[in-house]
């Protein structure tokens, strides 16, 4: 397995992992639109020539970054790939002087909330009807 930065050739694999892993549906062009904002915040893990996990984040302000998406192929869950990606994302943030990282997670996704809490995130507040299906989101924050 190899952890590396996203490349345009990864689009189909990333979209497939996102479609199978996340309840929110994204237009594939979103992934390519994110590249110019902060290429170093787009990380993938490749296994046998195929992307099996990714994290996409952006700079969201002075010394702030935001995780937009983190997804791991179901067949690779529990292997620590999400943790590995998040830790590498934190390293990339550190290179840019980022002091805090935020993200939103579905209110119903207790497993994801626990995952992020284990990585040092804490709950800031509930965001009413954050997701396209009307579900609330939970805003999480971590200081670096």
Domains observed in the chain: 2-143 (3.40.630.30)
Query: Would you say 125 and 140 are in contact if contact means Cβ atoms under 8 Å apart?
Result: no
Per-residue model confidence (pLDDT) at position 34: 87
Radius of gyration of the CA atoms of the chain, in A: 14
pTM over 0.75: yes
Alpha helices in the chain (DSSP H): 11-21, 28-34, 81-95, 110-118
Number of neighbouring beta carbons within 10 Å of residue 136 = 14
Per-residue model confidence (pLDDT) at position 24: 86
- 73 by DSSP, 3-state: which? coil
Residue 95 is encoded by which pair of tokens?
């290179």
Per-residue model confidence (pLDDT) at position 28: 83
Residue 45 is encoded by which pair of tokens?
């893990």
In sequence order, the 6+-apart residues with CB closer than 8 A to the CB of 70 are: 54, 55, 56, 82, 85, 86, 103
Number of neighbouring beta carbons within 10 Å of residue 117 = 13
pLDDT 10s per residue in the chain (144 long)?
999 999 999 999 999 999 999 988 888 888 888 888 899 999 999 999 999 999 999 998 889 999 999 999 999 999 999 999 999 999 999 999 999 999 999 999 999 999 999 999 999 999 999 999 999 999 999 999
Per-residue model confidence (pLDDT) at position 37: 86
Per-residue model confidence (pLDDT) at position 68: 95
Per-residue model confidence (pLDDT) at position 9: 95
In sequence order, the 6+-apart residues with CB closer than 8 A to the CB of 78 are: none
Number of neighbouring beta carbons within 10 Å of residue 69 = 20
């Amino acid at each position: 397995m190899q952890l590396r930065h996203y490349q345009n050739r990864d689009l189909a694999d990333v979209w497939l992992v996102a479609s199978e892993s996340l309840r929110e549906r994204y237009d594939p062009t979103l992934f390519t639109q994110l590249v110019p904002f902060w290429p170093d915040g787009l990380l993938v893990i490749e296994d046998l020539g195929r992307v099996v996990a990714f994290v996409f984040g952006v700079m969201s302000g002075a010394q702030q970054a935001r995780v937009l998406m983190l997804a791991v192929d179901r067949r690779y869950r529990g292997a620590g790939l999400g943790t590995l990606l998040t830790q590498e994302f934190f390293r990339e943030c550190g290179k840019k002087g980022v002091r805090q990282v935020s993200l939103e997670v579905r209110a119903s996704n207790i497993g994801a909330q626990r995952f992020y809490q284990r990585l040092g995130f804490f709950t800031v507040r509930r965001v009413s009807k954050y997701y396209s299906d009307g579900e609330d989101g939970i805003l999480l924050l971590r200081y670096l």
